Amino acid sequence: MKEFTSENIRNLALVGHGGSGKTSLAELALFTAGETNRLGTIPEGNTISDYTANEIERQFSISLSLLHDEWNNTKINIIDTPGYSDFIGEVKCALRVCDTAVMVLKAVEGVEVGAEITQKFINETKLPTAIIINKIDHERSIFNETLKKAQERLHSGAVVITYPVNEGLAFDTVVDVLKMKAFQYGAAGTKKVTEIEIPADQIANADKFRTALVEKIAEQNEEWMNKYFEEGTLSDEEIKTGLSEGILAGEIVPVFAVSSTKAIGINNFLDFAVQYLPSPIAHGSVEGKMKDSDKRVKVPLDPKGEPVLFVFKTLAEQHVGELSLFRVYSGSIHQGMDLLNEANGKIERLNQLSVLNGRNRNEVSNLFAGDLGAVVKLKDTHTNNTLASKAFSVILDQIKFPEPIIEGAIIPRAKGDEDKISKGLHTLHEEDPAFHSKFDPELSQTIITGQGEIHLDLAVKRLKERYNVDVDLIQPKIPYRETVRGTCENAEYKHKKQSGGRGQYGHVCLKIEPTPRGSGFEFQNAIVGGVVPGRFIPAVEKGIIEMMQRGILSGCQVIDVKASLFFGSYHDVDSDDMSFKIAGSMCFKKGFLEAKPVLLEPIMEVEVTMPEECMGDVMGDISSRRGKILGMDNDGHFQIIRCVVPLSEFYKYSSTLRSLTAGRGTHTRKFSHYEEVPKEVEHKIVEEYKKSREEA
């Protein structure tokens, strides 16, 4: 396969809200460039990038997909990303290694929450951006309004490069304000494009958009600004230079009118990408740290430098094994090369280097700095690992994945599947670091966490498909806590057992009282006169702690209590550690029940972001979950509600929020504190616990 050097590479990530047409655009780009010979569609399930059974069945992207084509002697790497918030981790991976984020908007709905969330990530990394307004052929297309919303809500530097002449069902022509020509496209699949003069009724419109573009370019340079004021224009070379520099600096965001279904406008975008969007060289160096120190270093994009690559995605492909997707940040790599995994110190051999178009792999001998590729069957390398030469032991900054917002518990349907489930969950996390799993010993459950209900459902489905294990996904047990509000001045328990021979004897008296919330357990030895020998006192404390761990009301841990041992008695022969341990635990239980015991529940601190028109429904739902509103803020055209909600009322909230906001709402959560459970709820929990104990 043809080799491309750094200056002849463009790395683009297609991002945006679900359903905006990213996969169709990627398909169109590959077809137009001649990389494929047919134009696949999502309904037919034959697109290059959505190739897994789950993506074909659900008709939306689940994992990022790496694609490439060649246009005007330039290799364009395209990363097609999912649009649903459940898979936002995939977007973070793509943004980490691309050089330009291409935001795809729908010409009808305009700027949706998925676009705004992604724009925040883009702003964090100061990544150059382009905007494609897609689906211009829709009968309700509103290009100008969508452009205005993009300027208001995404980036004020958004300027038109191509706009539609006849948007709507008859859409077939765009005007390119850089070339000041119109381009008429033939039927989808024909690849026919005819350059024509701008229609007379569009000249004023074209001049308006070109003036806005030139003004934005002139703003990048004081000399150009003065020239523009004096002469009213800039030279072609100044426009070309200023446009490239403005995009790289993040000050200019080019906007394109496209229809992915009618195959209109893509040629203009590809021409522009090659000429104006930044190459890897334009970005220069990236930062990392040396392996054995915290010293920050720059890794220059030097094709002749020491080889450094970063694995941004791990896939488990059937019949292939583990496939590692990477970007070369320095030097060049070739098949058979040995590199050091800087995270674990292990040597990895790069066998079967390839470039991808979805599941299709084309083997290559070499890849140069700035390029994206894949390698199979690395032994101990996964997402976020850096591979480099021994002479330059650098570790590149890792991708920061979002915190989980939903959790579920999985229960095997068959005994003996635990090992396969554990192995499967580990592999799923390596593929998707936004998915986590752990065994919670307190709850005796395996807990999985992720970014949404679909995220967890797919994990369960993949366990079945790959490892042939069936599990049920249920609501996790709630880690309630128990404590007391009152004081028991004298709880007494005497453990006495005689069974022929040596008996058991332990007698203790405890005072049980609450401590401030969060202070934990306190044990006080208040014995006077040796009524309980010192050697038995640790056993009393141990018995109390074991009872606290088992729980008394609901089987949940006891917290924030003080137990004072102030009296007791012993037997010279029958007393031992076990006797006093039992006496201590049973005495604590007795005193706990007399000290006004209460149940505490975990409270989550929640931030919900939604369109203003959805606030009433969202706030009503929060109230129905026993939530309390703490405050509200503005975030552009969205509202943010800050609230606290009991964890027990929060299961599958992401699905409810999506329904209430037509998919435009998002939320984050974190643990806040423990709070008393309302009495009616507490009674129900305690009764259910008693019933489960009886059945057991």
The span from the CA of 648 to the CA of 603, in Å, is 9
The one-letter amino acid at 637: H
Q: What is the 8-class DSSP label of residue 370?
A: T
Rg (CA), the chain: 32
The span from the CA of 256 to the CA of 254, in Å, is 7
CA 418 to chain centre: 27
Helices (H), 388-452: 418-431
CA 104 to chain centre: 19
Residue 565 contacts by C-beta under 8 Å, 6 or more apart in sequence?
A: 508, 509, 510, 523, 524, 525, 526, 527, 532, 537, 540, 541, 584
In this structure, how many other beta carbons lie within 10 angstroms of the beta carbon of residue 231? 9
The span from the CA of 470 to the CA of 69, in Å, is 41
The span from the CA of 169 to the CA of 139, in Å, is 5
The span from the CA of 477 to the CA of 436, in Å, is 17
pLDDT tens-digit map of 548-591: 999 999 999 999 999 999 999 999 999 999 999 999 999 999 99
CA angle 442, 448, 450 (to 5 degrees): 135
Give residue 79's pLDDT: 98
Give residue 696's pLDDT: 61
Domains (range + CATH), the chain = 6-283 (3.40.50.300), 286-396 (2.40.30.10), 406-474 (3.30.70.870), 482-595 (3.30.230.10), 600-680 (3.30.70.240)
240 to each of 220, 246, 267, how far by Cα in Å?
A: 12, 10, 19
The single residue listed with the structure tokens 């975990």 is 602
Give residue 84's pLDDT: 87
pLDDT tens-digit map of 596-652: 999 999 999 999 988 888 999 999 999 999 999 999 998 777 899 999 999 999 888
CB 103 within 8 A of CB 129: yes
pLDDT tens-digit map of 287-303: 999 988 878 999 999 98
CA angle 507, 509, 513 (to 5 degrees): 150
Pseudo-torsion of CA 272, 247, 220, 286, nearest 10°?
-140
528 to each of 533, 535, 567, 571, 583, how far by Cα in Å?
A: 10, 14, 8, 17, 19
Residue 426 contacts by C-beta under 8 Å, 6 or more apart in sequence?
A: 437
CB 585 within 8 A of CB 544: yes
40 to each of 23, 107, 317, how far by Cα in Å?
A: 10, 22, 22
What tokens were used for 550? 């088992």
In this structure, how many other beta carbons lie within 10 angstroms of the beta carbon of residue 208? 13
Below-70 pLDDT ranges, the chain: 1, 319, 696
The span from the CA of 169 to the CA of 185, in Å, is 14
Give residue 635's pLDDT: 76
19 to each of 23, 25, 42, 132, 233, how far by Cα in Å?
A: 9, 11, 11, 14, 39
The span from the CA of 565 to the CA of 544, in Å, is 11
Give residue 265's pLDDT: 97
The span from the CA of 221 to the CA of 241, in Å, is 11
Number of H helices, E strands in the chain: 17, 37
CB 632 within 8 A of CB 618: no
Average pLDDT for the chain: 93
